[in-house]
Structure 1
C-alpha cells in the first residue's frame, strides 16, 4: 500500500508553467587584455550605480513568506497593487502537491486558470496578478481568511456552518456531504443508529467535529443515543485517518463523500457509506471576506466558468478527482535522481551565501529543471544556467562551470553579488530586494536598471517589483523576466508552507509507525484502544456530552 504523504518530499519544489529561461547576464566589456577581464562585472557595477558599502549577508527566503502572511484585508484593487492573490488551501495532495517537474492538484491548476481569468477582466492591469496557493492548517483556514492572512479559500460548507464574516461564491460542486468511512471488519451497519458504539475518529477542531456535535444534539432532541466520537491530533488530515481505517488502526472516520470516494481509489478496502449522509445541503464553494464586494464579484465570476459541469470544471475533476493514481506517481525516478544529486550541492552553497536552500532550488528548477547537461542557445550552462564569461569574472572567480559543484557555486555567488551590489537599499523592501535580484539574474542588472528607469517614466515605483518594475520590464526588456520571477515566487511560497505543515504531520505519523507489529492481531475495537494507550494521537473524545453542545 502506498503511503501518500511520504511522496510529498524534497522532490517537491516545482516551478512548472514555463520552461527555465537562459540566464541573461550582462556581458563584460569587450576584451582588451587582462585589464578588461579584471574590470568585467566590477566595471559594470560602477557604470550602473555608485558602489555601496559592503553589507552583511541576509537570509532571503523568509521575506517571501513574511510578505505573503502579512495581514491585509484590502479588496481587489489592493490585491492588484501588491501583485498577488492568496488562496488558502489545506495540505491535502488532492488540492496541492509537488513532484520534480510540476506543481499539481486541484488548487494548482485552478490558480493558473484564475490568473488568466483575472488578467482578462476589463479593468485588469497590464501585468497578471499572481494567484499563490498558501497551504494552511485546515482547522484555521476560515479564521485566517477572515483575519486577512489569506484572501480566499475553497470550503466545503453547509448552511449551518456558514461564517458571518465570510461570503461564499456560487457552488463549484453541489450536494457534497459528510459520510462515514468504515473499516472492512465493521459489519452490520445499515442505518446511522447502527453506528452507535463504534468509535468514530475525526481531527480535533475540524468541521467534522462541529458537524458531529450538531448531529448528536439533534439525536438527543429526538431521544436517540449519541455517536461516540474520538478526537485525534489536528495535524492529521482526512486522508491520514482514511489510511488508518484501511490498515485497521481505527474502525471509522468521517469525510465528505467527494473526498472519501476519491481516496477510496487508493485505500480500496474501506467502506465509504455514501448512503448514510451525516450532513445535508453541503456544497464546495470559494469563501472570502464579506467586506470585499469587488473581489467577491471577480471570484464568483470565475466560479461560473470553473464549476462542475463546465468545460474547465470537468477537465479538472477528470484529471485530478476521478482517481488518485496521479498522486501515487509523484516523485518520478528521474526527478528523485536529480534531487538526490543536486539537492545537497544547492544546500551547501545556498547556506554559504546566506540564501534559503529551497529558494535557490526553486530558481534552479526554473532555470534548468536541475539538469547539469543543459546548454542554452546563448551558451548558458548547467543547473544554474551560468554564462561562462560571467563565472570567470573576478567577482565570481570560477572559470569552469561545466561541473555541477562549480556551476551551482557560481550561480549562487553571482546571485548574492547582484543583491548586495544593486538592491541592498533601505528604500527597497526586503521582498522587493529578493524579487529584483531574481529579475537581474534573468535579465541582467542592466536590464533591471532600464526597467526601473522606465518605471519612473511611467509614474510607477522603481523600488517595487509587482505591478511596478514588473510592468516596466515587459516594455523595456521582455515578458520573460516577469514570468520567471512570478513562477519562482509562487511555487517557492506554496512549497515552503506545505513543507512546514507536512513536517508537523509527519511527527504525528511517526507515533503510528512506532506501534508494535502485533497490534494487527487484535480485534478492531481493541486496536483502537491500543492506539489511544500507546500514542498521543487521540487527544480527546465525547459521546453523550456532545449532545449538550450545538
Structure 2
C-alpha cells in the first residue's frame, strides 16, 4: 500500500474548471433545474479529461492552454499556507514561467495556465512518462539513471552536495567509512539512495560491512525524515546541503556533517518528457534570467531556504514522552477491539497531540477529540478521564468499521483507513466518494490513490491531510516502538 503525503488534486480541478468557465458564455443568472447535473459530478467530468493522460510538446500545450506541473507537497517546494494560498519554490518558479511564456505569446486574456498537480515523490517520473504531467518542478537531482528516463532542462541550481545528517544519540561519524554497518534511512527512489548504494559497493569491494538502507515511505519529504532524525527516531539520513542547513536552524538536535559528502557538485533541473524538446528549449530560455544566481533566483531561494518560517511546526517536543506514557493504554484497547494500536495512537496524536486537556471549539474532548454525545453513546464512562477517552475512541473506530465496512470487499488495513476518513468526514460522505471513485474507474475499496483522490477533489484538503498525517505519525511511532523493543507489524507503505 502506498500513501501520498497530500495529493491536493482539488487545486488542479479548480484551476482547470476556472479556465473552462472563463471560455464559456456567462449564464450565471440561469436558474438550476431539477435535471441539472450535480455540481461536484460536473466538476469532475470537466476536469478529468484535462487531468488525464496526454502527450505532446509545447505547441500542443499552448493549444490546450495548460501546462501541468508535477510537484511534491513539501514545506519548501509546494504547500498551502495558513490562508490556503499556494506557496513554495516550485510554485513561484512556475508561476514566473507562466508569466514569461504568456508575455512572449502576446495573446492577452487567452493565457496558457500552469496547473499544479501535487503527487508523491516516487510518482514524479512515472507520471511524467505516462502523460499525467508535462513538467516536474522539484529538487530533482540530475543523475545518469534519470537522464535515461526524462529530458532535463538547464540546471536551476548547481554545486549541491548530498551530506550525512545524524540524530542526537547517533555514534560519532568522522569519515564515510564510519558508516560501515550502520543503518541509514532513505527513500528508495531518491538520488540519495543511488549515492548510498554506490558507497555500499565501495564497502563491499574493500571488505567493509555494508550499510543497512532502511526504506522511507515514498510520500516522505526530506523535511519529514530530518524531523525524525532530530527526534532521535533515526540515527542517520542524507540530505541536500542547503536543506540540511535550513532544517538545522529549526531542529537544534540535528547534526549536519558537511564533511561527509555522498555526492558532490550535483545539479538540480526541471524535467520534461523525452519528446518535449520545445518545452525544454523554452524552460532553458526562461532559466537564463531565473536560475540561482540571478536576482529572481536569489530572492526566491532566500525566501524559502534561509527563513524557517515555513518549516517550523510546533507541538512535537513532547511527542515521544507522551507516546511512552500512553502506549500501554492504546495497546490494551487496540487488542480489545482488534485494531492496530500504533495507528490508534497516531490518530490520537493527530487529534490532540495526545493531550487530554485539549478542547475543540465544538466541544470535543481530550486525546481522541470525541464529542460528549459520542462519548456517551460508547458507554465506557466519563470521557474527560484519560483511559475512558482512549477506550471510547477505540470503540468508536471499531463501531465505524463494523457498521460501514464489515462486509466491504477490502483488506483490514483499508477498513481502518476508511474508518479514519469517516471519523473525520462522516460515513455518508465517504460512501458517496466510494461510489464516485467506482464511477470514474478507481478502486472504491482502496483509500490511497483511489478514494483519496476523489476526497481531494470533492471536499478538499482536510480529510486527505487527516489520514495522511495519521499515517506519517504511525511510521514515527513505529520507530519509537522499535527503539523500545516492542514487536509490531507495519502497514506496508
The within-5 A match list for 1:29-44 is none
Q: What's the CA shift for 1:13?
A: 7.8
Are residue 102 (structure 1) and residue 65 (structure 2) matched? Answer: no
Is 1:246–1:270's contact at 8 Å kept on the other side of the alignment? yes
Distance in 2, matches of 1:164 and 1:187, equals: 38
Contact 1:90–1:136 (8 Å) recurs in 2: yes
Shift of 1:85: 0.8
Give yes or no for contact 2:141–2:269 (8 Å, CA) kept in 1: yes
Cα-to-partner distance string for 1:58-100 (whole Å, 9 max, x where unaligned)? 5244346524431111111211122211111111110111121
Say whether the 8 Å CA contact 1:179–1:257 is kept in structure 2.
Answer: yes
8 A Cα contact 1:96 1:106, kept in partner = yes
Q: 1:134 aligns with which of 117, 129, 133?
A: 117
Partner residue, 1:367? none
Preserved CA contact (<8 Å) 2:152 2:271: yes
1:334-345 superposed matches below 5 A: none
Q: Please give the alpha-carbon distance, in whole angstroms, between the structure 1 residues aligned to 2:141 and 2:154.
A: 12
Alignment of 1:314-353 (within 5 A): 314-328=298-312
Structure 2 residue 45 is the aligned partner of structure 1 residue 75: no
Equivalences for residues 470-489 of structure 1 within 5 A: none
Shift of 1:9: 13
1:272 offset after TM fit, Å? 1.3
Quote the residue 1:57 is aligned against.
38
Q: 2:73 aligns with which of 84, 91, 105?
A: 91
Q: CA deviation at 1:124?
A: 5.8
TM-score computed with the length of structure 1 as normaliser: 0.54
Question: What residue in structure 1 maps to residue 258 of structure 2?
Answer: 274
Structure 1 distance, partners of 2:492, 2:258, is 26
Alignment partner for residue 284 of structure 1, among 250, 268, 271? 268
Which of the residues 292, 298, 306 maps onto 2:282? 298
Residues 52 and 146 (structure 1), Cα distance of their counterparts in 2 relative to 1, 3 Å cut: same
CA RMSD of aligned residues (A): 4.1
Is the 8 Å Cα contact of residues 95 and 108 (structure 1) preserved in structure 2? yes
Write the mapping of 1:118-129 to structure 2, written as runs, cut at 5 A. Answer: 118-122=101-105, 127-129=110-112
Q: Distance in 2 between matches of 1:215 and 1:495?
A: 46
2:451 aligned partner: none
How far apart are the structure 2 equivalents of 1:172 and 1:532? 45
Shift of 1:498: 7.0
Distance in 1, Cα, partners of 2:169 & 2:108: 58
**Cα distance in 2, alignment partners of residues 229 and 537 from structure 1:** 19
Summarize the Cα distance change of 1:269–1:307 in structure 2 as closer, same or farther, 3 Å threshold.
same
Gaps of 5+ in 2: 16-26, 315-360, 363-439, 441-454
The farther-off stretch of 246-255 and 201-210 is 201-210
| Structure 1 residue 174: Cα displacement | 0.5
- For the structure 1 residues 216 and 141, does the alpha-carbon distance in structure 2 shift closer, same or farther, using more than 3 Å as the test? same
Residues 232 and 538, structure 1, Cα contact 8 Å, conserved in 2: no
| 1:176 match: secondary structure | strand
**CA deviations over 1:164-223 (Å, ceiling 9, x no partner):** 231111111112232211012224211001112321111344333333223312332344
Counterpart Cα distance in 2 of 1:151 and 1:265: 35
1:533 aligned partner: 487
The whole-number CA distance in structure 1 between the counterparts of 2:105 and 2:231 is 53
| Greater C-alpha radius of gyration | 1
Which residue of the other structure, out of 133, 140, 144, is the alignment partner of 1:156? Answer: 140
1:381-428 deviations in Å (ceiling 9; x for gaps): xxxxxxxxxxxxxxxxxxxxxxxxxxxxxxxxxxxxxxxxxxxxxxxx
Gaps of 5+ in 1: 18-40, 331-339, 342-429, 431-491, 520-526, 540-550
Aligned-partner SS, 2:117: strand
Aligned to 1:31: none
Residues 517-532 of structure 1 aligned to structure 2 (within 5 Å): 529-530=483-484
* CA separation of 1:528 and 1:304: change in aligned 2, threshold 3 A: farther
Aligned-pair distance for 1:288?
0.5
Relative to 1, partners in 2 of residues 1:299 and 1:13: Cα closer, same or farther, differing over 3 Å?
A: closer
> How does 1:437-476 map onto structure 2 within 5 Å?
none
Could you say if the C-alpha distance between residues 136 and 69 of structure 1 is closer, same or farther in structure 2, counting changes exceeding 3 Å? same
CA contact (8 A) 2:180 2:208 kept: no
Matched position secondary structure for 2:251: coil
Match of residue 358 from structure 2 = none
Superposition pairs for residues 404-415 of structure 1, below 5 Å?
none
How many residue pairs match? The answer is 339
Whether 2:216 is the aligned partner of 1:232: answer: yes
